[in-house]
A and B are shown apart, each in its own frame.
Chain A
Amino acid sequence: DGGITQSPKYLFRKEGQNVTLSCEQNLNHDAMYWYRQDPGQGLRLIYYSQIVNDFQKGDIAEGYSVSREKKESFPLTVTSAQKNPTAFYLCASSLTGGEGYEQYFGPGTRLTVT
């Protein structure tokens, strides 16, 4: 079955440590996205990539970094510079070209930093 996988589902880290969240898709989508979700704030875009080896900052990129070395993979690193990293992180992907396409979401990773 095609879809998006995120691992792990739950992640715990100590303050000051960097942590990398995994996102893999087998939908053959060119575009991939990372969102952060906090209660009552909806989804906020962290980074997105429309093609391999290229990515753009979203609305809340500070304290995060990404890479896009393969079409299928778009890992997100939460660095120690992120002031409030505890949140639910969602990865998504979509087709590109034409006038636009809907995004497909993974199951999410809940990160807790103490």
Chain B
Amino acid sequence: AQSVTQPDIHITVSEGASLELRCNYSYGATPYLFWYVQSPGQGLQLLLKYFSGDTLVQGIKGFEAEFKRSQSSFNLRKPSVHWSDAAEYFCAVGPRGYQKVTFGTGTKLQVIP
């Protein structure tokens, strides 16, 4: 069965600092990988996805993520965080050819001035 681990429950960064959110997955083959963002009381918005090809994926709002097969990781990065990036971030994994995905427990990002 597939699983996703987001080891950091809460992260605080200063505005303008770089950000890396960790995501590790467990799956027997190359999965589909996603990062979503959720503002309080709202639905989830897709930031980026990896299906195949280039392992460095660019997303919206200046985010990027890198798929590292050898480390079973799909970490999310942003070079300079803005106060509006404060939200909860979810990593998700899904098997190819199948719609069901598994979500991590989320990382809550706080941005301080």
Contact = CB atoms under 8 A, between A and B. Distances in A.
Interface residues of B, number: 25
Contacts of B51: 99-100
20 contacts: A35-B103, A42-B103, A42-B105, A44-B103, A45-B100, A48-B99, A48-B100, A92-B44, A96-B99, A99-B32, A100-B32, A100-B94, A100-B95, A100-B97, A100-B99, A102-B46, A103-B99, A106-B43, A107-B43, A108-B43
Interface of A: 4, 6, 31, 33, 35, 40-45, 48, 50, 58, 88, 90, 92, 94, 96, 99-108, 110
Interface of B: 9, 32, 34, 36, 41-46, 49, 51, 90, 94-101, 103-106
Contacts of A40: 9, 105-106
